[in-house]
Amino acid sequence: MFWSALTFQLGYNATLVTLGATLLGVAAGVTGTFLYFRKRALVSDAISHATLPGVALAFIVMTMLGFDGRNLPGLLIGSAITAALGLYCVQWLSSRTRLTEDAAIGAVLSVFFGFGIVLLTVIQTMASGGQAGLESFLLGSTAGMLYSDAVLIAGGGALALALVVIFRRPMLMSAFDPEFARASGIDLNRTDLIMMGLVMGVTVIGLKIVGLILIVALLIIPPAAARFWSDRATNVVIIAGILGGIAGWSGASLSAVAPNLPTGPIIVLFAFALFAASMLLAPGRGLLMSALNHRRFQRAVHIRQGLVSLAQGQPIYEPLTLRLLQKAGLARADGVPTDDGRAQSSRVLRDEKRWEVARSDPAFEMAAARYDGLTQIEDVLTPDQITLIDTRIGAPSVVAQ
Amino acid sequence: MTSDIALAGPDAANAEAEVLRKSPFAIRGLTVSYDQKPAVFSVDATIRPGQMTAIVGPNGAGKSTLLKAALGIVKPLSGQITSLGRPLAQEMHRIAYVPQRASVDWDFPVRVIDVVQMGLYREIGLLKRLSGGQKSKAMACLARVGMEDFAKRQIGQLSGGQQQRVFLARALAQDADLYLLDEPFAGVDAATEKAIIEVLKSLRAEGRTVVAVHHDLSTVPEYFDDVLLLNVRKIAEGPVAEVFTDAALEAAYGGRLASARITTNAATG
Amino acid sequence: MNGAEFVPLSLTPLLIGCLAAIACALPGNFLLLRRQALIGDAISHVVLPGIVAAFLIGGTIATLPMLLGAAGAAIVAVAMIEGIRRYGRIEPGAAMGVTFTTLFAAGVLLLEMSDTSGVHLDVEHALYGNLESLVWLDATGWGSLVDPTALAGLPPELFRIALVLVMIAALLVAFWRPLAISTFDEGFAATLGLPVTAIGLGLVIVSALAAVAAFDAVGSIIVIAMFICPPAAARLMTNRLGTQVALSVGFALIAAILGFVLAGYGPRWFGSIHAVSAAGMIATMSGVILALAALFGPARARST
């Protein structure tokens, strides 16, 4: 069953919804990356919570005008209006008062959501309100979706994605290097507006499937996961889109075969699984690799420090240093260097001296910038340059002890 | 620790112990790294008592990091810090630290006098009320930096120089033997710089030790007795007259010295 | 309004609402000043998975395991945020977003997949509580306040939130100075020998405690609103920490009373006999107070 859903073989509606969720995931992942680089990930939380009063108001207005209150396009338009108002409140509070953006976000999301709840209870008391089913907007649901709704979501996802592709350059530039973007003639305010507009669009489209409480996860988790895989902004954007798409696709598919479970949480947990795998396993920034690197680095520092001390005949203070030297066969338990240790320490000392010369000579400034206390100077300078340095130091001396 | 030192022979160990016992602030083998790039590498330093020492070096040389790691605010990779022969962590009650002005949120809802009274925390503890004597002590510290008229102001209304003076007043209230200051002259006006240096000199006259991270080479000989030249590693340490030489500066500043020396010569020469 | 109607039906929910609002507003002041306002948001989201997990393990909805489960979830959340931020080098906002959406999603799924039909536990209840149901049916009027048999029938939520509020207030008074110093200048606080990490964690745990106790009665939406809105409004009114905290308590009280009264009696003015959500209305009122403070508060502008 799950497999048929994954391969789009579960009927027209389910296929459309899964397609919509996939497109939505890609669009959200990509849009979220710009937000992430601007360090404003949680603004989306305020926007999404602020949709609730809009949904409720739209239902009330449509019902009072004699239309079907559950008309999805109408509800989404309503949600977009209050989401925009919520976003405006966040901007206003954090720019015009002393409140920081996080406080403004928290205030807006709780107050708008609270007011939305008030409106929901009003709807429950309305004659036609009992079956409104607006609660499904909280956690998302794909069950019982109308054909037109599925088309709307798939189309909306495609549109959001298209807009992201069109505006990717200015958004990337202003997210990554605002000063440079401004100098290149990009209107930062307008780019921010487009970015926030896209965030709103993704939120509104995602309301029905993922629900307003969890839609932020699609904007936040894929970029954070993608960040582990690359240091290049463009790559992060693409990877985040892919990860978001996978989460949306597999989540919606699973939800299609388990209609009693809310869709939003399933998609979010898929996204988190991708995040956890990335955080653990990604090369470079992943936890496993950096833990190994850190350990290696710490040992290298201790051994180098110890060798320098040995070379200069100084006592070794740190038990860990001594233990590592001992283990590497460079020193005895009482701190006396072995033959190997003596040879290596004189080499380290010579390296230190060379660095000292290189770092004090403006001619080597470029190379000196790579000094980190561990890199061997042979890795940075040419043999000729080293010979030049050595003539200034004199012949390497062997440590006496 | 004693057993490690013993490895280098009893005489060396005794001499080293004697050195550490005399120094109010001694650093041995301090290495700190952020993201596998050492900010401070294997630094030994021995601050002389009752002197004013400047920690000097180019941007990113690890000056502030050295202080923060010594105080335990950031975690070092290795190293031992002592004061008069005992681990510094046990001697914190004799130490006053003045952080960089930019490290705190000046929009915080407190008044100037409240900040100064934070320096009395060790005396008053959790629940005790401030006595009249302690209140006037806080005011006196504020007066010593020329800020007594601002006691009731909200801290956000102060200029940069005034904020720095308030921080110094808070340290004065701590009544410490060792004062560690992180860039006390950064971004302050000339009058404040003069006021701060006068206070620091008066601390020295009282026999206290002052260590300051300092970025302006031109004023080092005028303000300080000793200097610790740092560029990730220690380049040199000792009395200004001996250590503050072109060769040492060149080692610390490398190719960037050209501009640095101009400012030095302009002020001293 | 006569006592025979007010005391049994409105007095206890009103009191619980007020106590819950104050219990959240108190730690909220320090969360706000530490730029951790959204930790309150995260905590209130993870209370749900904590309670569900406690229910699945313990099999009951007894108070103590629920409180422990929720507090445990809050600690797990904080550890997760901190771990993702530090070891994953992800900015704090995103780390928070990853954590609370994931835990909340897990809580919802656990809840939906387990058989909780026999107990009063669902997502809607978790979000906006059921303040109105915390009535005191043993009461017959004001006289019941001195009637031991009637008092025995008070809803247990009242004692729970009162106890938590007293604890929070006592902790706040006892640790006021270290909390203020380490919030203002953490580096300096560390050199004073203050355990800054423990203080930060303690504040989060106290906030979690407030969130759990309040959540039980009023749902997470009030919790978030009360963590942030009253302290934020108070910050815009004054530049003194003590005054700010006092004002925040006042604002929380006003929001709770106004919200409760408007939710219960407001619709009658429009000719409707149905009350609206008290929790939602209390959150809305806290927003109105914040809006007024943002527009007219004497200390609303940044000083630097």
CA distance A323 to chain B (A): 11
Residues of C in contact with A272 (CB under 8 A): 98, 101-102, 105
B20 touches chain A (CB under 8 A): no
Q: What count of other Cβ atoms lies within 10 Å of the Cβ of residue C84?
A: 23
C183 touches chain B (CB under 8 A): yes
Q: What are the helix (H) ranges across A258-338?
A: 263-281, 287-311, 319-327
Distance CA A299, CA C92 (A): 30
With an 8 Å Cβ cutoff, are A301 and B77 in contact?
yes
Distance CA A243, CA A202 (A): 16
Residues of A in contact with B247 (CB under 8 A): 360
CA nearest to C231, candidates C211, C251, C215, C212: C251
B102 touches chain C (CB under 8 A): no
Residue B55: how many CA atoms within 13 Å on its side-chain side? 33
* E strand or H helix that includes residue A366: helix A365-368
Coil, helix or strand at residue C296: helix
Q: Which domains does chain C have, with CATH numbers?
A: 3-134+167-303 (1.10.3470.10)
With an 8 Å Cβ cutoff, are B78 and A301 in contact?
yes
Per-residue pLDDT of chain C (304 residues; tens, 9 = 90+): 566 778 788 888 999 999 999 999 999 999 999 998 888 888 888 888 888 888 888 777 677 787 788 888 888 998 899 899 888 888 888 999 999 999 999 988 888 887 665 566 677 777 777 787 788 888 777 878 888 888 888 888 888 899 999 999 999 999 999 999 999 999 999 999 899 989 998 998 899 888 888 877 788 888 899 999 999 999 999 999 999 999 999 999 999 999 999 998 877 777 676 778 888 999 999 999 999 999 999 988 877 5
- Strand partners for B27: B45, B81
With an 8 Å Cβ cutoff, are A98 and C36 in contact?
no
Distance CA A236, CA A219 (A): 13
Q: What per-residue confidence (pLDDT) applies to B260? A: 47
C239 closest CB neighbour out of B103, B121, B154: B154
- Determine which of B105, B123, B129, B150 to mutate to test the interface with C (most C C-beta atoms within 10 Å): B105
Per-residue pLDDT of chain A (401 residues; tens, 9 = 90+): 677 767 766 677 778 888 888 988 999 999 999 889 888 889 999 999 999 999 999 999 998 888 888 888 899 999 999 999 999 999 999 999 999 999 999 999 999 999 999 998 888 887 665 566 787 888 887 766 778 888 888 888 888 888 888 888 888 888 777 788 888 888 888 888 888 999 999 998 888 888 888 899 999 999 999 999 988 888 899 999 999 999 999 998 888 888 778 888 999 999 999 999 999 998 878 888 888 888 888 888 888 888 888 887 777 767 788 888 888 888 887 778 888 888 888 888 888 778 777 766 667 766 666 666 677 777 777 888 888 777 777 654 444 44
**How many residues are present in chain C?**
304
The complex's ipTM works out to 0.92
Distance CA C42, CA C50 (A): 13
Q: In which region does residue A258 sit, left (phi positive, over 0), alpha (psi from -120 to 50) or beta (all else)?
A: beta
CA distance A30 to chain C (A): 15
Residue A352: how many CA atoms within 13 Å on its side-chain side? 20
With an 8 Å Cβ cutoff, are A98 and C124 in contact?
no
B77 touches chain A (CB under 8 A): yes
**How many residues are present in chain B?**
269
Q: How far from A161 is each of A25, A44, A114, CA to CA, in Å? A: 9, 17, 31
Cβ within 8 Å of B, A 298-327: 298, 301-302, 304-305, 308-309, 313-322
CA nearest to A110, candidates C286, B9, C103, B37: C286
Q: What per-residue confidence (pLDDT) applies to C179? A: 95
Distance CA A105, CA A47 (A): 9
B75 touches chain A (CB under 8 A): no
Cβ within 8 Å of B, A 37-96: none
Q: Letter for the amino acid at A228? A: F
- Determine which of C175, C184, C199, C247 to mutate to test the interface with B (most B C-beta atoms within 10 Å): C184
Contact present, C238 and C263 (Cβ < 8 Å): no
Cβ within 8 Å of B, C 79-118: none
| Residues contacting A255, CB < 8 A, separation 6+ | A142, A261, A262, A263, A266, A267
Query: What number of C-beta contacts closer than 8 Å exist between A and C?
Result: 210
With an 8 Å Cβ cutoff, are A322 and B1 in contact?
no
- Determine which of C100, C284, C295 to mutate to test the interface with A (most A C-beta atoms within 10 Å): C284
B107 touches chain A (CB under 8 A): yes
Phi, psi of B245 (to 5 degrees): -110, 165
B157 touches chain C (CB under 8 A): yes
| Residues contacting C274, CB < 8 A, separation 6+ | A121, A124, A125, C267
CA nearest to C178, candidates C161, C167, C190: C190
Query: What number of C-beta contacts closer than 8 Å exist between A and B?
Result: 87
B124 touches chain C (CB under 8 A): yes
B232 touches chain A (CB under 8 A): yes
**How many residues are present in chain A?**
401
Per-residue tokens: B65: 């990091």
Per-residue tokens: A198: 């896209």
Q: What per-residue confidence (pLDDT) applies to B138? A: 94
All chains having 3 or more CB pairs closer than 8 angstroms to chain A: B, C
Starting at the edge strand that comes first in sequence, how are the strands of the sheet with B178-182 ordered?
Answer: B95-98, B178-182, B209-214, B52-56, B226-231, B233-239
User: Dihedral angle at the C-alpha atoms of A182, A186, A190, A194, nearest 10 degrees?
Assistant: -120
Coil, helix or strand at residue A337: strand
Closest residue in A to C278 (Cα–Cα)? A118
- Determine which of C30, C32, C90, C99 to mutate to test the interface with A (most A C-beta atoms within 10 Å): C90
- Please give the full DSSP string across chain B, using - where no structure is assigned: -HHHHHTT-HHHHHHHHHHHHH-SEEEEEEEEEETTEEEEEEEEEEEPTT-EEEEE-STTSSHHHHHHHHTTSS--SEEEEEETTEEGGGGGGGEEEE--GGGS-TTSS-BHHHHHHHTTHHHHTTTPPPPHHHHHHHHHHHHHTT-GGGTTSBGGGS-HHHHHHHHHHHHHHT--SEEEEESTTTT--HHHHHHHHHHHHHHHHTT-EEEEEE--GGGHHHH-SEEEEEESEEEEEEEHHHH--HHHHHHHHGGGHHHHHHHHHHHH-
Query: Where in chain A are the domains?
Result: 12-219, 288-393
Distance CA C303, CA C235 (A): 12
C298 touches chain A (CB under 8 A): no
Residues of C in contact with B71 (CB under 8 A): 187, 190-191
With an 8 Å Cβ cutoff, are B5 and A317 in contact?
yes
Per-residue tokens: B218: 């031109």
With an 8 Å Cβ cutoff, are C294 and A220 in contact?
no
Residues of C in contact with A224 (CB under 8 A): 84, 88, 90, 94-95, 97-98
Q: What count of other Cβ atoms lies within 10 Å of the Cβ of residue B126?
A: 11
Contact present, C249 and C230 (Cβ < 8 Å): yes
B258 touches chain A (CB under 8 A): yes
Q: What per-residue confidence (pLDDT) applies to B5? A: 42
Largest CA distance in chain B: 59
A111 closest CB neighbour out of C105, C229, C274: C229
A97 touches chain B (CB under 8 A): no
A366-389: buried (b, 16+ CB within 10 Å) or exposed (e) per residue?
A: ebbeebebbeebeebbeeebbebb
Distance CA A388, CA C228 (A): 65
B122 closest CB neighbour out of C185, C192, C302: C192
Closest residue in A to C94 (Cα–Cα)? A41
- Strands B52-56 and B78-83: what pairing? unpaired
Starting at the edge strand that comes first in sequence, how are the strands of the sheet with B78-83 ordered?
Answer: B37-47, B25-34, B78-83, B86-87
- Please give the full DSSP string across C267-278, using - where no structure is assigned: HHHTT------H
Q: What per-residue confidence (pLDDT) applies to A3? A: 72
Handedness of CA C247, A86, A217, A176 (dihedral sign): negative
Distance CA B249, CA A367 (A): 19
Q: What per-residue confidence (pLDDT) applies to B267? A: 41
In the CATH scheme, what is the code of domain A12-219?
Answer: 1.10.3470.10
Mean per-residue pLDDT pooled into runs of 10, chain B (269 residues): 46 79 91 82 91 91 92 88 91 92 90 94 83 92 94 91 95 94 91 93 95 91 93 88 81 59 43
Q: What count of other Cβ atoms lies within 10 Å of the Cβ of residue A13?
A: 17
CA nearest to B29, candidates A297, A309, A344, A323: A309
Q: What per-residue confidence (pLDDT) applies to C61? A: 67
With an 8 Å Cβ cutoff, are C303 and B107 in contact?
yes
- Please give the full DSSP string across A123-146, using - where no structure is assigned: HHHSTTGGG--TTHHHH---TT--
